[in-house]
Amino acid sequence: MAVGLLHQCGHNTVWNIQSWLDEGCGDGLIISPVHTPKEVVEAMGEEIRQRSIFDPQFYLPGSQKKKLHTYDFFPEVISGGFVTGDFSMHALRAAELCLAFQIEMGFRGVVIPTRYFGQMITDFCEKQNAYTVHPFLEVIAKEKPSAPVYLNVVLTSHMIKDEAYRTNILNWITSFPEIDGVYLIPDCERLNKQVDDADYLYDLLTMLRELKEVGLSVILGYQNTEGLLATLIDEIEITFGAFENTRIFSLDKFLETEEERRGPRARIYLRGLLNWVQLDQAKEIKARAPDVWEAIYRPTDYAEKALAAVVEPSFNNPNLYKHHFVCFAEQLAELNDLDPPGRYERLRADITKALEHYARLEDEHIDLEKHGRGDFLVAWRDAIDRYLKGS
């Protein structure tokens, strides 16, 4: 009856490992080779690997990122320069090496990777079959790994919202008896950091339910706070991450760029708002609306240190991220104490309370910047209401 929680790892994976092993936040890792070179994965403890999965990250096969190139099975490496038309000559060997690595490392499951397509192409399934699915299944038939087999699938919000396209994807996934589960990554276009599209959220919940109904295990990757809504589908696994690029999927981290990127503004996860708020504005709430602050803030040692710091913490400081791990893991644990109908009632109540807290902040004339506002919560409530009626 429980929903699992996996760390979507990225930069500074050591924070995820510490949070999991030292504080019991989460159940394992999804390891990211674009951030973690092969030798580091090999040096991880056996206990860590046995409770985690490895995401081969074939999304952008021609990526020039150096850490990806430490893996001899990555498409750009094995083909000596990826060219779509020529990769068929290397696909089987890439599958052999990639599966051998996952089996040797003893991960709790083996993952068949996928290629990212941002458009609703008509031959999506055929391209994935040629790229990885058929070569990997051929090797799986020979090697017969004892671990369950997961098919990695990345779908845009447009693919998920189009019922015919979504049904075609579902039929394709379920056509392979060798596949035990799906590692599904939604790529939802948005203007804000939180998802505010009720139709998309409803259709995503529907798809997750359909996958479970046909007996597949489901890992829902790259989730921000909206991952809590997926607890309405029992016995799936959701993810949480530190940096935004582990909570919102994009191809950016697979691209080499010479542009100097500015570090993100420090944000703190405020459980009572179900949102991340800029740290300086959180301090403003604490000072000007202490009653609201008491209702929305879950104190942790990590957050207290960040709030007390004279200088705003940089993205290389773990305190705000470890605070988030503690808060989010607690929220999921509380939902896991309930059955799915009880989770709906709890989520709806939490969303309604968060909206009330935002209204009180408006009454205090505390104007949050656009990503810290709670407009998305109405869409969340609409989506779970529709899902409950339709499920």
Q: What is the CATH number of the domain that holds 86?
A: 3.20.20
Per-residue model confidence (pLDDT) at position 256: 82
Confidence check: pLDDT of 257 > 90:
no
pLDDT category, 260, cuts 50, 70, 90? low
pLDDT in tens, 32-55: 999 999 999 999 999 999 999 999
The closest of 114, 112, 115, 81 to 95, measured between CA atoms, is 112
pLDDT category, 391, cuts 50, 70, 90? low
Residues 250 and 271 in one domain: no
The closest of 222, 258, 227 to 241, measured between CA atoms, is 222
Q: DSSP for 233-268? A: STT-EEEE-SSGGGTS--SGGGS---SPPPPPPPEE
From residue 263, give the alpha-carbon distance in Å to each of 180, 267, 305.
39, 12, 20
Residues 210 and 301 in one domain: no
**Residue-averaged pLDDT of the chain:** 96
Q: Answer with the residue of higher pLDDT: 263 or 104.
A: 104
pLDDT category, 261, cuts 50, 70, 90? low
Residues 127 and 232 in one domain: yes
Residues 185 and 274 in one domain: no
Confidence check: pLDDT of 199 > 80:
yes
Residues 232 and 365 in one domain: no
Residues 222 and 332 in one domain: no
The closest of 354, 342, 341 to 380, measured between CA atoms, is 354
Tokens representing 341 are 């109908």
pLDDT category, 295, cuts 50, 70, 90? very high
Work out the percent of the chain whose per-residue pLDDT is above 70.
98
Report yes or no on 282 lying in a domain: yes
Confidence check: pLDDT of 140 > 70:
yes
pLDDT category, 390, cuts 50, 70, 90? confident
Domain end point (choices 222, 254, 286): 254
State pTM to two decimals.
0.97
Conformation bin of residue 82: beta by default, left when phi > 0, alpha when psi is -120 to 50: beta
Per-residue model confidence (pLDDT) at position 167: 97
- Mean pLDDT throughout 46-67? 97
Residues 204 and 230 in one domain: yes
296 vs 293: CA distance, rounded Å: 5
Work out the percent of the chain whose per-residue pLDDT is above 90.
92
Domain end point (choices 210, 232, 254): 254
Report yes or no on 259 lying in a domain: no
Per-residue model confidence (pLDDT) at position 315: 86
Domain count within the chain? 2
> Locate tokens 């709890």: which residue?
346
Determine what percent of the chain falls in helix, strand and coil, rounding each to the nearest 5. 50, 10, 35
4 CB burial (10 A radius; 0-12, 13-18, 19+): middle
314 vs 64: CA distance, rounded Å: 27
pLDDT in tens, 149-190: 999 999 999 999 999 999 999 999 999 999 999 999 999 988
Residues 232 and 355 in one domain: no
Report yes or no on 261 lying in a domain: no
Q: Side chain identity at 203, as an amino acid letter?
A: D
Report yes or no on 262 lying in a domain: no
Confidence check: pLDDT of 7 > 90:
yes
Q: Residue 298 contacts by C-beta under 8 Å, 6 or more apart in sequence?
A: 271, 272, 326, 327, 330
Report yes or no on 97 lying in a domain: yes
Domain extent for 369: 267-390
Tokens representing 66 are 């150096």
Residues 241 and 181 in one domain: yes
Instruction: Name the 3-class secondary structure at 183.
Output: strand
Per-residue model confidence (pLDDT) at position 264: 81
Domain end point (choices 254, 284, 319): 254
Q: Which of 74-88, 136-150, 206-220 has the lowest mean pLDDT?
A: 74-88
Residues 237 and 379 in one domain: no
The closest of 177, 181, 228, 267 to 346, measured between CA atoms, is 228
